[in-house]
Amino acid sequence: QAKLQIIEHGMDLRLLDDYKACWIKKLRWKKAPKFAWDRMKDEKKILRRLSLLKKHKIQALVYVLMGFDSTMEQNIYRCQKIHDFGCDPFPMLYKPTQELRRFRRMIYLRYYRQYKTIGEAWKAYGRNK
């Protein structure tokens, strides 16, 4: 039995298609496959690809670039959409601010899972400073 090592970097979710999703599902992963959603302008493409992940029952981790060209509302929205499709958001901070660090911590701790939405969780987490 040959051992094949795959370097697990974040894959470009915009390039995912049905064929690739089928093969990703067939592979045995030590950890969940990783993808990236860096910019809001790619929203339509990303949402279509997230639906492919859901269709193929692929539980993935999706990097979310924050502090580059997005607002806090857009960051919350992207994390919520990723969660809604059954994947885990993973904030990546381009220019860290105290607010973004707190938001990242809330996501890492999975505090948002106690609430209906990530937005509600963020409001509650902000009150618990």
Residue 2 has what pLDDT?
62
Domain count, the chain: 1
7-54 confidence digits (pLDDT tens): 667 889 999 999 999 999 998 888 889 999 999 999 999 999 999 999
Residue 94 has what pLDDT?
96
Q: Per the domain annotation, does 112 fall within a domain?
A: no
81-124 confidence digits (pLDDT tens): 999 999 999 999 999 999 999 999 999 999 999 999 999 999 99
Residues 6+ apart with CB under 8 A from 49: 13, 14, 16, 35
In three-state secondary structure terms, 91 is strand
Residue pair 46/72 in contact (Cβ under 8 Å)? The answer is no
Average pLDDT, the chain: 92
pTM of the predicted model as reported, rounded to 2 decimal places? 0.89
If you average pLDDT over residues 59-65, what whole number do you get? 96
Residue 7 has what pLDDT?
61
Residue 128 has what pLDDT?
66
Residue 9 has what pLDDT?
78
Q: How far apart are CA 71 and CA 13, in angstroms?
A: 21
In three-state secondary structure terms, 19 is helix
Q: Per the domain annotation, does 78 fall within a domain?
A: yes
Q: Per the domain annotation, does 53 fall within a domain?
A: yes
Q: Per the domain annotation, does 122 fall within a domain?
A: no
Range of the domain at 90: 11-22+29-96
Q: Per the domain annotation, does 5 fall within a domain?
A: no
Q: Per the domain annotation, does 117 fall within a domain?
A: no
Q: How far apart are CA 36 and CA 105, in angstroms?
A: 19
Q: How far apart are CA 12 and CA 90, in angstroms?
A: 15
Query: What is the CATH number for 76?
Result: 3.40.50
